[in-house]
């Protein structure tokens, strides 16, 4: 069923779910572009003093770690039945947002290669 049909049927919970999903996707995309794609390159080259190639290698490692965490989280959520529980998903989302906020706050203080990697 499409969103217009849900609006016509006044299924506001479903419509709000669509809105929340779109808002989360937009926020995640914006954070990824500004902080991860642009910010880490600037941080690594300008403040830490790494070459662009070295920063790219660190970002590739970050992508692989992210892949492993995503697979492990998905498998855990599926095995424990968390994937069908909205509250668990929202708690996980809150944890991710808090972690990203903390990383964004700490990032300007990074000045060494080990700290950049961490």
Percent of the residues in the chain that have a pLDDT greater than 90, as a whole number: 32
pLDDT of residue 100: 87
pLDDT of residue 31: 84
Phi and psi of 81, rounded to 5°?
A: 80, 15
Helices (H), 32-51: 40-42
pLDDT digits (tens, 9 = 90+) for 60-70: 998 999 999 99
End-to-end Cα distance, the chain: 44
Could you say which DSSP state residue 112 is in?
Answer: S
pLDDT of residue 1: 65
Tell me: the pLDDT tens digits for 77-113? 999 988 888 888 888 889 988 988 898 899 888 899 8
Instruction: Give the tokens for residue 17.
Output: 């779910």
pTM of the predicted model, to two decimals?
0.71
69: number of CA atoms within 13 Å, CB side?
Answer: 8
Tell me the C-alpha distance between 99 and 16, whole Å: 25
Q: Which two tokens stand for residue 7?
A: 């609006």
The string of pLDDT tens digits covering residues 28-75 is 888 888 887 788 888 899 889 999 999 999 989 989 999 999 999 999
């Amino acid at each position: 069923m499409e969103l217009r049909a849900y609006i016509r049927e006044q299924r506001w919970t479903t419509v709000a779910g669509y809105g929340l999903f779109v808002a989360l996707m937009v926020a995640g995309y914006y954070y990824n572009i500004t902080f991860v794609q642009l910010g880490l390159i600037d941080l690594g080259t300008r403040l830490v003093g790494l070459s662009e190639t070295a920063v790219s290698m660190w970002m590739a490692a970050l992508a692989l770690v992210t892949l492993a965490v995503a697979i492990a989280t998905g498998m855990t959520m599926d095995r424990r039945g968390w994937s069908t529980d909205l509250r668990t998903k929202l708690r996980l989302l809150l944890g991710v947002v808090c972690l990203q906020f903390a990383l964004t706050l700490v990032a300007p203080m990074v000045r060494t290669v080990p700290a950049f990697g961490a």
